[in-house]
Amino acid sequence: MTRIGLAILWILHFFPRRALGVSGQLLGFLFFLLSRDRRRVVTKNLDLCFPNLSTRERANLRLKHFISLGRALADCSIAWWSKASSIKKLAKIEGKEILDQALSEGPVIVLAPHFVGLEILGIRLSIEEHAQTMYSKQKDPILDKFLQSRRTRFRETKLISRQDGIKSVIRALKARLPLFFLPDMDFGPKDAVYVPFFGISAATIDAVPRLAALTKAKVIPVTIRQYGFNEPYIIKFFPSWNNYPSGDLLNDTKTMNEFIETQARMMPEQYYWVHKRFKTRPPGDEKIYD
């Protein structure tokens, strides 16, 4: 099935952008109809995070999310197989000078939250920069090998498995190889603290402030936003946070979540709601997902 899915996406990368966008909408709608479990996860997440919306408004947001996911997956076909010039048209970068200036001064951690275009962001930036990033190995070895090859086909990108530890990450950071870090997944209670996310206690990896303190790295957030069929994605770098890390690990992790929440509220259909973000609960709390 993996090979069939990749073959379909390979065909899609030949489509004009508008046709690709329509195809992506259809993929998203099919995902919405067929993936009952993920539909439940998204429903629960939106119920928790947007209690101020009506039931109808949350239902509309849920469908928009799946359609946005489908469009991003279809657009990944360009990122995975097209030449660099086509990928540059697919996604434009704003604020690259912020990253360049920070790298000229010392180590840099790029904070990259999970929005639907994240795969496109990583490959687009690999055309411009050598980098390192943590990643989780895919259960499907065919998909894992494919993603590694696609993510490293331009400039060298050092892919570090989460299972491999952080010693090599620290060495590379000190050598001024930027670390692209994805901080908003629930990997369980290990190396995590409980801080609010949309007002709900969420197990959050505290590696960003820890690594920043160890290496004296600046933390620069980056987001990617999806627009119309014929419009490019916009990758936006933000200025580094002042006085970060502060030495207060809990507060620093909270600051990180507050930034992600602010960005997610600006484009709620594009945050990665299919993930069980609140799966790990503080001791004594009831489970959120059945």
Residues 6+ apart with CB under 8 A from 106: 176, 216, 217, 218
Pick from 103, 28, 35, 122: which is nearest to 72 by CA? 28
From the DSSP assignment, how many helices (H) and strands (E) are in the chain?
11, 9
What would the pLDDT profile of 77-95 be if each residue is shown by its tens digit?
Answer: 999 999 999 999 999 999 9
What pLDDT, on a 0 to 100 scale, did the predictor assign at position 163?
67
Question: Is residue 165 over pLDDT 80?
Answer: no
Q: Report how far residue 181's alpha carbon sits from residue 256's, in angstroms, rounded to the nearest whole number.
A: 12
Does any domain span residue 243? yes
Rounded mean pLDDT, 198-225: 96
Reply yes or no on whether the pLDDT at 63 is more than 70: yes
Report how far residue 263's alpha carbon sits from residue 284's, in angstroms, rounded to the nearest whole number.
Answer: 30
- The pLDDT score that the predictor gives to residue 167 is 80
Please give the Cα distance from 8 to 119 (Å, whole number).
18
- Is 56 part of any domain? no
pLDDT at 186 over 80: yes
Domain tally, the chain: 1
Least confident piece of the model among 70-74, 131-135, 164-168: 164-168
Per the domain annotation, does 103 fall within a domain? yes
Parent domain of 185: 86-270
Question: Does any domain span residue 157?
Answer: yes
β-strands 233-237, 200-205 pairing:
unpaired
Judged against a pLDDT cut of 90, whether residue 158 lies above it is answered with no
Whether 5 is in a domain gets the answer no
Cα distance between residue 180 and residue 219, in whole Å? 10
> Which structure tokens are listed for 196?
């609010």
Angle separating helix axes 249-266 and 207-215, nearest 10 degrees: 120
Residue 42 lies in a domain: no
In 3D space, the residue among 157, 104, 106, 103 whose CA is nearest the CA of residue 130 turns out to be 157
Tokens of 223: 């987001």
Residue 281 lies in a domain: no
Report CA dihedral (133, 143, 276, 27) to the nearest 10 degrees.
120
Question: Of 239, 121, 226, which Cα lies nearest the Cα of 180?
Answer: 121
Q: Do the Cβ atoms of 23 and 71 come closer than 8 Å? A: no
Averaged over 248-264, what is the pLDDT? 98
In a domain? residue 37: no
- 3-state secondary structure (DSSP) of residue 199: coil
Instruction: Judge whether residue 284 has pLDDT over 90.
Output: no
Among the listed ranges 18-27, 62-71, 104-113, 150-159, which one has the minimum average pLDDT value? 150-159
Predicted TM-score (pTM) of the model is 0.95
Compute and round to an integer the Cα radius of gyration of the chain.
Answer: 19
E strand or H helix that includes residue 58: helix 55-81
Average pLDDT, the chain: 94
